[in-house]
């Protein structure tokens, strides 16, 4: 093997060893759209089955040791369900990841949760936030991942400034209840389900709320939560530069929050995002970024779509790691535009699948996780076991 090939293999192994990504419990369950739902025979119908599916993904890929939990869907009884989850962690070898409060499902949240004009409803929502933090403490989960549907649909129907103040107060109180090792990740979204104004609509608002809440609060970037054609990697660069980037919810979209599998529409965008992160690391910035998947697989098989996404994330992360940053910096400083872009694009067009397969083989994993899943019969077996239950499923998660 030539020295250049050995160096590239060493670089690839180092990058892949450092990469882990969290998978969501709701990615294994039957989900739908506001128009309807099509169930899958092999979809998970219980928290136990979600842990089983997560364990199979980790067995095949080796990079998904944690599963994000949604409080009302996975721990409907709150802290009382913690012993059950701990037992499942031990049995399946999967740790609880980020804890996701649910501030959009209750009927009383029709006009908002932490930003509701009713003080009583705001207090109820804050109580749920604090309960979620306590669940995180009990499970040893670091990140509390907050997304709210709060907003309004018509001009003049809500006081935007009052809602800013209410949310500032709620997030500060939530932050004060965090353990020293916990973080509050504040997500943003420009629209949906609110269509006139959303209370945390963009990264600037999220940054403000995080800084106002306290030093353990950061911004969470969902790649589907942006306007069409928005430069997400520029946002990432700003969040890196200002030291407030906490994590990602990865998915892909063609129009808005489509929850499509990562890289299925625009893999170059995810490459550009990862490239900003690799550059920041090479520049000496201290990074603590949680990589998480947030997708809802309605048409693709749950297990196949999840493994597709994990493998794609690995490949795009690796492509970005292969950029020769020293050479690129020289080309940038000399404004050699074509050469700089060709070097950058060249890393993206590199076929890293052989490198990723070699890494998996060296780590005792299947060289092709998707093929290994299909050969295992796992989906067919769980489909037979769960099919009758799924035929009657009607809940979201």
Q: Class assignment of domain 21-390?
A: alpha beta
Interval 94-111: pLDDT, tens: 999 999 999 999 999 999
Q: Three-class SS of residue 32?
A: strand
Per-residue pLDDT tens digits for 229-279: 999 999 999 999 999 999 999 999 999 999 999 999 999 999 999 999 999
Q: What is the pTM of this model?
A: 0.96
Backbone angles phi, psi at 245, to 5 degrees: -80, 120
Instruction: Name residue 309's beta-bridge partners.
Output: none
Strands (E), the chain: 23-24, 32-33, 36-37, 66-70, 95-100, 143-146, 151-152, 183-187, 197-198, 217-222, 245-250, 290-293
Q: How many CB atoms lie within 10 A of CB 44?
A: 26
d(CA 213, CA 217): 6
| pLDDT tens per residue across span 336-378 | 999 999 999 999 999 999 999 999 999 999 999 999 999 999 9
pLDDT by residue (tens digit) across 169-209? Answer: 999 999 999 999 999 999 999 999 999 999 999 999 999 99
* pLDDT greater than 90 at residue 33: no
Can you tell me the distance from the alpha carbon of 167 to that of 311, in angstroms, rounded to the nearest whole number?
38
Q: Residue 3: its pLDDT value, please? A: 75
Question: Residues 73, 397: contact at Cβ < 8 Å?
Answer: yes
Whole-number pLDDT of residue 1: 61
Q: Are 394 and 36 in contact (CB under 8 A)?
A: no
> Quick one: angle between helices 302-321 and 3-17, nearest 10?
130
Contact 209, 186 (CB under 8 A): yes
The CA–CA distances, whole Å, from 174 to 40, 80, 144, 185, 351 equal: 38, 21, 10, 11, 45
């Amino acid at each position: 093997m030539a020295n250049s090939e050995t160096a590239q293999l060493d670089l690839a192994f180092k990058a892949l060893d450092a990469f882990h990504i969290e998978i969501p419990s709701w990615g294994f369950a039957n989900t739908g759209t506001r128009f309807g739902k099509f169930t899958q025979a092999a979809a998970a119908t219980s928290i136990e089955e979600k842990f089983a599916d997560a364990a199979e993904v980790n067995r095949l890929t080796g990079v998904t040791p944690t599963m994000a939990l949604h409080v009302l869907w996975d721990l409907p009884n709150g802290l009382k369900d913690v012993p059950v989850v701990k037992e499942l962690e031990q049995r399946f070898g999967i740790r609880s990841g980020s804890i996701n409060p649910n501030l959009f499902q209750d009927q009383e949240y029709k006009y908002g949760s932490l930003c509701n004009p009713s003080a009583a409803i705001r207090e109820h929502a804050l109580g749920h936030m604090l309960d979620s933090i306590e669940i995180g403490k009990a499970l040893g989960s670091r990140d509390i991942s907050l997304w709210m549907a709060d907003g309004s649909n018509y001009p003049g129907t809500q006081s935007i400034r009052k809602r800013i103040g209410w949310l500032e107060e709620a997030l500060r109180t939530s932050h004060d209840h965090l353990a020293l090792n916990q973080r509050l990740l504040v997500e943003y979204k420009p629209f949906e389900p609110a269509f006139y104004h959303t209370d945390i609509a963009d990264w600037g608002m999220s940054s403000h709320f995080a800084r106002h809440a306290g030093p353990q609060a950061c911004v969470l970037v969902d790649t589907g939560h942006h306007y069409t054609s928005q430069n997400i990697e520029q946002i990432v660069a700003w969040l890196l530069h200002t030291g407030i980037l906490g994590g990602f919810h990865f998915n892909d979209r063609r129009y808005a929050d489509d929850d499509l599998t990562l890289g299925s529409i625009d893999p170059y965008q995810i490459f550009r995002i990862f490239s900003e992160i690799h550059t920041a690391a090479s520049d000496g910035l201290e990074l603590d970024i949680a990589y998480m998947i947030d997708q809802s697989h309605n048409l693709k098989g749950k297990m196949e779509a999840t493994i597709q996404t994990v493998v794609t994330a690995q490949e795009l992360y690796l492509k970005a790691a292969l950029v020769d940053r020293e050479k690129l910096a020289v080309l940038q400083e000399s404004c050699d535009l074509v050469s700089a872009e060709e070097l950058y694009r060249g890393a993206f067009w590199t076929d890293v699948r052989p490198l990723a397969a070699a890494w998996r083989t060296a780590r005792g994993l299947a060289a092709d996780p998707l093929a290994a899943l299909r050969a295992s019969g796992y989906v067919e077996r769980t489909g037979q076991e769960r099919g009758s239950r799924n035929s009657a499923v009607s809940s979201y998660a």
